Amino acid sequence: MTSVHPPAGDGAPGSARAALAAARAARAAELDRRLADLLAAAGAPGRPAPPATPLPGAVPADAAPADAVPVGVALAAVGSHGRRELTPGGDLDLVLLHRGDPGIGEVADRVWYPIWDSGLRLDHSVRTVAEARTVARADLKAALGLLSARGIAGDLALVDELRAAVLADWRADARARLPELAALCRERWEKQGELAFLLEPDLKEARGGLRDVHVMRAAAASWTASAPDGRVMAAHDLLLDVRHALHETTGRATDRLVQQEQEGVARAVGLPDADALLSAIAEAARTVTYAADHLWRRVARTTGPRRTPVERRPVGDGAVEHDDEVVLARNADLRDPALVLRVAAAAAHAGLPLAPATVARLAADAALPAAPWPPEARDALVALLGAGPAAIAVWEALDQAGLIVRLLPAWEHVRNRPQRDPVHRFTVDRHLVETAAGAAALAREVARPDLLLTGALLHDIGKGRPGDHSATGADIARELAAALGFPDGDARVLEAVVRHHLLLPETATRRDLDDPVTIETVTAAVSAVPGRERETLELLAALAVADGNATGPAAWGSWKARLVAELARRAAAALSGGTPPPPPDLGPDRLALARHDGAAVRVAGSRVTIAAPDRPGLLWRAAGVLALHRLAVRTARTVSSQAADAGTAVLDFTAVPEYGAPPDPAALEADLRRMLAGRLDVAGRLDRRARSVRIRPGAAVAPPRVMILDDASDTATVVEVRAHDRPGLLWRIGQALGARGLHIRAAQVDTLGAEAVDVFYVVGEDGAPITDPDALAAVREGVLKALG
């Protein structure tokens, strides 16, 4: 299992991190000395305030002796300095304690002002023990800070008295305070997201971050749960080192690890690159999250309503429910190679977590299946995946114990691997598990649900290795299928499913479904396993849905689902030897939009339908008008009606406001009419908008790509453009194609996250595809030039 805490002295990571830890310890000690001197000088009668030397710094030569501190006054550190974890950008949080000294205000000023003058950020308070205790009982955040109070100077008995009082109150009020603390954590998680799966995470506040470890310590102080173990503290130390390096690298007090800082931070902690850094953070965060989930379950049982003891209840072969967790039955046979997966499947289907002690015992003592797996073990794996979303937490428990990589060694290459695009929500391994969980809901729609669930689990298994991940993953999937005990025919189907898992969504969104070559491309791909073409197509269609939903909303939506379903339907008809269904009719509602004197518009939510007399350039000119109304085009489809007397073309856009409310449909229609009449300077207005767009400093935008696809259609030239999305992008591409005398016969326009993937079927003025190499090169260069 990948370590989150490389041993010190065992290469660059250990040395770099040891240096960071040593720097924090030295800074804490120096701050303590300086603060002790400030308090001593502040309490010495008649002495001037100490000079405003930077903190931490050398103790001045005329420092007052420690016994100059007034009796009954103490300085305590809380927060990160109280834990000796203050990073370069962290705040200093101090409490000046006293026993009702009337001159405490003057003492406080003589301590605080030199700290402010030194430039350190300071959070401070002056309290008696009784006042601090009252504040802690009323303010949960104050209580958390005072639980970690550490005496620095003065009458340290005061600090001990305060900590004992706050701790006693904390334990006495635990049944009320801990549920309140749990609610605060959930609110923070909802706002900040999950650290393990964010490309630009907040190291402190996100779920699985430093704040969660501090909270776990506080919960343990109430005696309702155990303190964080060594693995959690190792994860905490890594996140603390990353935060320290972030502050040093940026010179700013920030906990947000943005992408442009990740390479520098990775080097500072001794890691080779930003991907290794995100992987280490994901490992640490998942360790913290798993432990925190168990802690909060324990807290809920302890602080919730009193319950009658629950008897052990069987939930599966070798598994019983006990205290809302699944544990091993007394007669469980640890020599059974299917036991681990069978117990895991029982827990998932019961909707219960695996008890951590049970997971640890399984990892230490249970036998694991050897290749080829016996049918019982393979069936248990499929049963686990078939539990749907409930399987995710159980899988995570097995993963935390190192069991997943022992069961599936190829998993090591995708484990905690980041995906550097805004479309994916998860690391590669978590995405695979989420896809399998989503595929469980589609199991009844396919003839072989076991192959669907296994294919979903393995479809991206080639990521993290050289070459195209689909091709590489197909080879791995076939080997794994054999190791799992699938017969050769099933292994070949799984190989084809992994190799072509992107076939349907990419073809549906980038090719013309009315072109026979499109359907032929799909049927040829699924014919890799003779006799099982329909089965393979069925599996690919279901996997496309599960994969898209697990990726994120930017990668999947109702429009894409419709296209994939339609493509699968047409390919199935072709495989059956029938005639593919005709393209969908425009329908009277859409044809009714066309008007004899111009264009018509219908706006229904994010869907914009435009009907107008067909003419060259209609698509991109209409897109330009949408851009002028600050509508960002997410998808665009063209449908022409040859049967309509007026030569009607219908354009379907999915467009969302860049900000604010949608535009007025009447104003949008009016501008479309002016554009068609040549009375609207769309190009000039779009150029002015483009010049006003500000790009965030440091944001890396890859250059656009323009490809001419020779084999995608027999009736048109297919131009595929991939570029960073921006206002008026579709306008510029279409304008460049129009300048070459090309007519867009059909288009598939999609925006995934911040990236556009636009495909255009174009013909020349004679209605035929472009075949001249020089003309094709000129088209490509013209589009690239238009994209800047």
What is the tens place of the pLDDT at every residue in 740-750?
A: 889 888 887 87
**653: amino acid identity, one letter:** F
pLDDT of residue 545 exceeding 50: yes
Note the pLDDT of residue 10.
41
3-state helix, strand, coil in the chain (%, to 5): 55, 15, 35
For residue 611, what is the enclosing H or E element?
Answer: strand 607-613
Handedness of CA 271, 273, 276, 279 (dihedral sign): positive
How far apart CA 1 and CA 234 sit, in angstroms, is 14
Question: Token digits for 203?
Answer: 């190291």
HSE on the CB side for 263, CA within 13 Å? 2
What is the tens place of the pLDDT at every residue in 450-480?
A: 999 999 999 999 998 999 999 999 999 999 9
**206: amino acid identity, one letter:** A
Note the pLDDT of residue 59.
38
589 Cβ contact partners less than 8 Å away, ≥ 6 residues apart: none
Handedness of CA 296, 299, 304, 306 (dihedral sign): positive
Note the pLDDT of residue 44.
52
pLDDT of residue 700 exceeding 80: no
Strands 648-657 and 631-640: antiparallel
Q: Are 194 and 288 in contact (CB under 8 A)?
A: no
Strands 717-724 and 705-709: antiparallel
153-162, 226-235, 698-707: least confident range: 698-707
761 Cβ contact partners less than 8 Å away, ≥ 6 residues apart: 512, 515, 713, 715, 716, 717, 718, 744, 745, 746, 747
What is the tens place of the pLDDT at every residue in 667-699?
A: 888 888 888 777 888 878 877 766 665 544 434
Note the pLDDT of residue 692.
65
pLDDT above 90 coverage of the chain, percent: 57
The DSSP 8-state label assigned to residue 631 in this structure reads E
Q: Are 442 and 530 in contact (CB under 8 A)?
A: no
Q: Are 451 and 469 in contact (CB under 8 A)?
A: no
Q: Are 457 and 385 in contact (CB under 8 A)?
A: yes
Handedness of CA 22, 120, 50, 154 (dihedral sign): negative
Note the pLDDT of residue 640.
56
Averaged over 90-101, what is the pLDDT? 92
Terminal alpha carbon distance of the chain: 47
Averaged over 36-52, what is the pLDDT? 65
The DSSP 8-state label assigned to residue 256 in this structure reads B
3-state secondary structure string, 633-647?
EEEEEEEECCCCCCC
pLDDT of residue 299 exceeding 50: yes
Beta bridge partners of residue 600, listed in sequence order: 611
49-58, 249-258, 437-446, 770-779: least confident range: 49-58
What is the tens place of the pLDDT at every residue in 324-355?
A: 899 999 989 999 999 999 999 999 999 999 99
Beta bridge partners of residue 327, listed in sequence order: 320
Taking the model in full, what pTM does it have? Answer: 0.77
Q: Angle, nearest 10°, between helix axes 156-172 and 210-221?
A: 80
Q: To the nearest 10°, the Cα dihedral for 579, 581, 582, 586?
A: 170
Averaged over 303-319, what is the pLDDT? 77
> CA-CA distances (angstroms) from residue 405 to 15, 251, 288, 290, 408?
28, 39, 19, 17, 5
SS3 of residue 391 by DSSP: helix
What is the tens place of the pLDDT at every residue in 559-570?
A: 889 999 999 999
* ∠ Cα 708 709 712 (to 5°): 150
153-167, 591-605, 733-747: least confident range: 591-605
How far apart CA 13 and CA 750 sit, in angstroms, is 42
Note the pLDDT of residue 55.
54
pLDDT tier, 424 (very low <50, low <70, confident <90, very high otherwise): confident
> CA-CA distances (angstroms) from residue 11 to 248, 276, 282?
21, 15, 21
- Among 288-292, 583-587, 644-648, top mean pLDDT goes to 288-292
pLDDT above 70 coverage of the chain, percent: 87
SS3 of residue 320 by DSSP: strand
Residue 225 phi, psi (nearest 5): -155, 165
Averaged over 514-540, what is the pLDDT? 92
How far apart CA 501 and CA 403 sit, in angstroms, is 27
Note the pLDDT of residue 590.
56
Residue 693 phi, psi (nearest 5): -75, 130
Tracing tokens 């807290």 back to the chain, one arrives at 299
Tracing tokens 């809920």 back to the chain, one arrives at 300
**Pairwise pLDDT comparison (53 vs 774), residue with the higher score:** 774
**Helical H segments across 484-602, by residue range:** 488-499, 503-510, 516-525, 533-551, 558-575, 587-591
Q: Are 649 and 640 in contact (CB under 8 A)?
A: yes
**274: amino acid identity, one letter:** A
HSE on the CB side for 738, CA within 13 Å? 13
- Among 369-378, 609-618, 699-708, top mean pLDDT goes to 369-378
Q: Are 474 and 456 in contact (CB under 8 A)?
A: no
pLDDT tier, 618 (very low <50, low <70, confident <90, very high otherwise): confident
* ∠ Cα 346 351 356 (to 5°): 70
CB atoms within 10 A of CB 119: 9
> CA-CA distances (angstroms) from residue 223 to 175, 215, 300?
11, 13, 13
Question: Token digits for 783?
Answer: 């589009």
Averaged over 88-108, what is the pLDDT? 91
What is the tens place of the pLDDT at every residue in 525-535?
A: 999 889 999 99
- What is the residue-averaged pLDDT of the chain? 86
- Among 69-78, 378-387, 629-638, top mean pLDDT goes to 378-387
Note the pLDDT of residue 697.
42
Across 402-434, b (16+ Cβ under 10 Å) vs e yields ebbbebbebbbbbbbbbbeeeebbbbbbbbbbb
Handedness of CA 135, 138, 142, 148 (dihedral sign): positive
- The burial class, CB within 10 Å (0-12 / 13-18 / 19+), for 598 is middle
pLDDT of residue 61 exceeding 50: no
445: left (phi over 0), alpha (psi -120 to 50) or beta: alpha
- Sequence-distant contacts of 106-111: CB under 8 A, at least 24 apart: 106/42, 107/39, 107/42, 107/43, 107/70, 107/73, 108/42, 110/38, 110/41, 110/42, 110/49, 110/50, 111/35, 111/38, 111/39, 111/42, 111/75
Note the pLDDT of residue 108.
93
Beta bridge partners of residue 207, listed in sequence order: 194
CB atoms within 10 A of CB 319: 25
Note the pLDDT of residue 719.
92
